[in-house]
């Protein structure tokens, strides 16, 4: 069953339940109102008879045999010309003394419970509903009491047929049932129409997703509805998700191509050297030494690439850092010594050098600085300069690597720290990596609560900066973080 059909059924079911509750409430309210009206009529008639009785209209006299009887005057009969009200007078033994002419031969005797009424029950009476000749009749029985001695001399029973009440309730039931039969299909049709219009954007989402799956085109987007509602937010979120997936997919595709290129080149070189050795190079010391040196260099490149991939994988897995005191000036001298064998005609030097100690992961910071240094040496031609620097600035330890290389185009600067991004896609295997080094730098900076920045001019060089927060001073608060300032080479 489709979601639209389920939504229509659920809505129709709730509407039917609400209609049923409303109908039941209406029926019982009307029935209660009609019953209260019948009770008012009975009590009003009873009060009239009591007033006549108290005024002498009903006189208790004794017959020659000494029996107490009640006689009705003519005005009593005239009061009950209404056919819906029947009055009866009974003795204390339950014998019918007199009644109004509109009784129409019906037998409405007193019940045993009514005969137990005493003088104190004048204002409460006894009410009952019974069926007489297939007609429901409601009766109200009250005692007739002499004021002189507070003696019950008889019982007054006022009765009213409920035929009109039952007819009214029957008509009301048919109206409610007929209205429900007419309204429910209309409600179901309206629910189906509304559900279709509400779910139309979801159909567009489904069609877009199917188009993406069939065409493998993540550039498609779901049309955004004009109304600012929940579906609008959902579709905007889905479009943002598609945009992010597109970026990740393109980045992964670039990464696969780059890594394939990087792996293929050293592996091909190593295979060539192995073939040289296999064809007799082992018997030529110079040729064997050259082949082993080339394979060692290519193996080193492969190891660095695997380490970079492992570091990024650990970063994605939220591996916690090992925080310990790190002397950055000592670490920078260590980086300087490790980079010197890679200069190849580039002058490596140390600029500003403050003594700074922070709390962080020494191995990760060293990896980030090595990546910056290797990147600077790779893109600086022979005769150029690469300068390492360390200083305190605005509550941060500022580590800089400046070069006098080719620089970076302005349109590439916003993306330079993105994973797998390379500003120079035509580099040889000796002049670049797989686009992972600078991404690692940014991840390390962010993991320490800092950030990485770059300033560059084409033809003049670049300055990479790694901002790491200083520990708070014991006597003063750390200064506020300012903008990510950098310097030109």
Q: What is the pLDDT of residues 106-157, one digit of tens each?
A: 778 888 888 888 888 888 888 888 888 888 889 999 888 877 677 888 888 8
State whether residue 356 is helix, strand or coil.
coil
Residue 135's pLDDT is what? Answer: 84
Distance, CA of 485 to CA of 483 (rounded, Å): 6
Q: Is 422 within the bounds of a domain?
A: yes
More confident residue, 195 or 3: 195
Alpha-carbon gap, residue 332 to 468, rounded angstroms: 14
Give the number of domains in the chain. Answer: 3
Judgement on whether residues 260 and 111 belong to the same structural domain of the protein:
no
Decide if 361 contacts 448 (C-beta within 8 A). yes
* CA distance linking residue 237 with residue 233, whole number of Å: 6
CB 452 within 8 A of CB 465: yes
Paired strand residues for 371: none
CB atoms within 10 A of CB 17: 10
Question: Would you say residue 455 lies in a domain?
Answer: yes
Under 8 Å CB-to-CB from 456, ≥6 apart: which residues? 407, 408, 413, 462, 463
Separation CA 474–CA 476 (nearest Å): 6
pTM over 0.85: no
Is pLDDT above 60 for 59? no
Cα dihedral 479, 483, 488, 489 in deg (nearest 10): 50
273 and 331 in a common domain: no
Give the least confident one: 175-189, 261-275, 346-360, 412-426. 412-426
The CATH number of the domain holding residue 134 is 3.30.450.20
Which pairing describes strands 385-393 and 347-353: parallel, antiparallel, or unpaired? parallel
Query: CA torsion sign, 332 to 333 to 334 to 336?
Result: positive
pLDDT number for residue 482:
40
- The residue among 108, 107, 117, 119 whose CA lies nearest residue 157 is 108
> What is the rounded CA–CA span in Å between residue 141 and residue 72?
18
Among 294, 312, 330, the domain boundary falls at 312
Lowest mean pLDDT among 173-177, 212-216, 221-225, 348-352: 212-216
DSSP code string of 404-451? -SS---GGGGGGTTSTT--S-TT--TTS--SS-HHHHHHHHHHHTT-E
Does 454 score more than 60 pLDDT?
yes
Q: What's residue 484's pLDDT?
A: 38
351 versus 225: the higher-pLDDT residue is 351
Does 214 fall in a domain? no
pLDDT at 376 over 80: yes
The full 3-state SS of 50-96, as one line of letters, equals HHHHHCCCEEEEECCCCCEEEEECHHHHHHCCCCCCEEEEECCCCCE
Is residue 201's pLDDT more than 50?
yes
- d(C-alpha 217, C-alpha 238), whole Å: 15
Residue 485 lies in a domain: no
Give phi and psi for 350, each to the nearest 5: -110, 130
CA distances from 322 to 72, 364, 448 (A): 112, 9, 10
Judgement on whether residues 328 and 288 belong to the same structural domain of the protein = no
| Residues 290, 295, 300: CA angle, nearest 5 degrees | 130
The token pair that represents 64 in the structure block: 């020659």
Give me Rg for the CA atoms of the chain. Answer: 51
Both 434 and 392 in a single domain? yes
Q: What is the DSSP letter of 354?
A: -
Helix/strand/coil for 359 = strand
- Dist CA 406 CA 425 (whole Å): 14
Pick the last residue of a domain from 312, 342, 370.
312
- Identify whether residues 61 and 89 lie together within a single domain: yes
User: Residue 282: which residues within 8 A CB-CB, separation 6 or more?
Assistant: 288
Same-domain status, 365 and 268: no
Query: What is the rounded CA–CA span in Å between residue 93 and residue 102?
Result: 23
User: Residue 316: which pLDDT band, with cuts at 50, 70 and 90?
Assistant: low
Average predicted confidence (pLDDT) for the chain: 79
d(CA 463, CA 296): 31
Is residue 359 domain-shared with residue 296, that is, in the same domain? no
Q: What is the pLDDT of residue 446?
A: 86
CB under 8 Å to 59, separation ≥6 — which residues?
Answer: 70, 71, 73
Q: How confident is the model at residue 427 (pLDDT cuts 50, 70, 90)?
A: very low
CATH code of the domain in which 463 resides: 3.30.565.10
Q: How confident is the model at residue 431 (pLDDT cuts 50, 70, 90)?
A: very low
How far apart are the C-alpha atoms of 425 and 435, rounded to whole Å? 10
Alpha-carbon dihedral sign for residues 271, 272, 278, 282 = negative
Whether 489 shows a pLDDT value over 90: the answer reads: no
Residues 326 and 307 reside in one and the same domain: no
Say whether both 120 and 237 belong to one domain.
no
Structural domain boundaries, residue 20: 3-169
Determine, yes or no, domain membership for 385. Answer: yes
Residues 269 and 349 in one domain: no
Contact 111, 96 (CB under 8 A): no
H or E element, residue 370: helix 362-378
Nearest Cα to 78, choosing from 87, 69, 90, 91? Answer: 87
Token match 């002058």: residue? Answer: 347
In a domain, 482, yes or no: no
Q: Tell me if 195 is assigned to some domain.
A: no
Q: What mean pLDDT do residues 303-331 have? A: 74
**What is the C-alpha separation between 92 and 145, in angstroms, rounded?**
11
Residue reference for tokens 């309204």: 183
The 10s digit of each residue's pLDDT in 244-279 is 888 878 877 776 776 676 677 778 878 887 888 787
User: Is residue 179 included in any domain, yes or no?
Assistant: no
Based on the fold, state whether residues 125 and 47 are members of the same structural domain. yes
The DSSP letter of residue 147 is T
- Tell whether 326 and 425 lie within a shared domain: yes
Return the CATH number at 297.
1.10.287.130
H helices of 216-353, in order, are 230-278, 285-316, 328-339
């Amino acid at each position: 069953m489709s979601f639209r059909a389920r939504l229509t059924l659920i809505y129709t079911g709730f509407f039917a339940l609400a209609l049923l509750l409303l109908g039941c409430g209406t029926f019982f309210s009307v029935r209660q109102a009609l019953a209260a009206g019948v009770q008012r009529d009975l009590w009003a008639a009873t009060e009239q008879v009591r007033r006549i009785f108290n005024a002498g209209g009903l006189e208790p006299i004794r017959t020659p045999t000494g029996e107490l009887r009640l006689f009705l005057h003519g005005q009593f009969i005239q009061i009950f010309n209404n056919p819906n009200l029947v009055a009866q007078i009974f003795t204390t033994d339950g014998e019918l003394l007199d009644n109004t002419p509109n009784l129409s031969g019906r037998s409405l005797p007193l019940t045993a419970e009514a005969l137990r009424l005493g003088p104190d029950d004048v204002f409460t009476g006894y009410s009952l509903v019974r069926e007489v000749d297939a007609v429901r009749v409601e009766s109200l029985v009250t005692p007739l009491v002499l004021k002189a001695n507070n003696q019950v001399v008889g019982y007054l029973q006022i009765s009213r047929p409920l035929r009109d009440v039952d007819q009214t309730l029957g008509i009301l039931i048919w109206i409610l049932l007929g209205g429900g039969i007419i309204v429910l299909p209309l409600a179901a049709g309206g629910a189906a129409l509304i559900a279709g219009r509400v779910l139309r954007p979801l159909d567009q989402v489904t069609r877009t997703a199917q188009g993406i799956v069939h065409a493998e085109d993540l550039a498609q987007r779901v049309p955004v509805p004009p109304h600012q509602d929940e579906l609008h937010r959902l579709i905007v979120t889905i479009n943002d998700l598609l945009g992010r997936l597109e970026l990740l997919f393109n980045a992964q595709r670039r990464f696969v191509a780059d890594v394939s290129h990087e792996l293929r080149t050293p592996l091909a070189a190593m295979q060539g050297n192995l073939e040289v050795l296999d064809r007799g190079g082992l018997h030529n010391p110079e040729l064997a030494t050259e082949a082993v040196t080339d394979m060692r260099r290519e193996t080193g490149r492969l190891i660095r690439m695997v380490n970079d991939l492992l570091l990024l994988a650990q970063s994605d897995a939220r591996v916690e850092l090992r925080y310990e005191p790190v002397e950055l000036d000592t670490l920078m001298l260590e980086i300087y010594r490790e980079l010197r064998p890679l200069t190849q005609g580039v002058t490596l030097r140390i600029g500003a050098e403050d003594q700074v100690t922070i709390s962080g992961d020494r191995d990760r910071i060293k990896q980030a600085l090595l990546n910056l240094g290797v990147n600077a040496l790779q893109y600086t031609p022979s005769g150029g300069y690469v300068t390492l620097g360390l200083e305190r600035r605005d509550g941060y330890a500022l580590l800089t690597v400046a070069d006098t290389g080719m620089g970076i185009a302005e349109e590439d600067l916003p993306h330079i720290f993105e994973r797998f991004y390379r500003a120079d896609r035509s580099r040889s295997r000796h002049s670049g990596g797989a686009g992972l080094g600078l991404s690692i730098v940014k991840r390390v900076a962010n993991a320490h609560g800092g950030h990485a920045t770059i300033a560059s001019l084409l033809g003049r060089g670049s300055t990479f900066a790694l901002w790491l927060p200083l520990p708070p001073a014991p006597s003063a608060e750390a200064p506020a973080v300012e903008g990510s300032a950098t310097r030109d080479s």
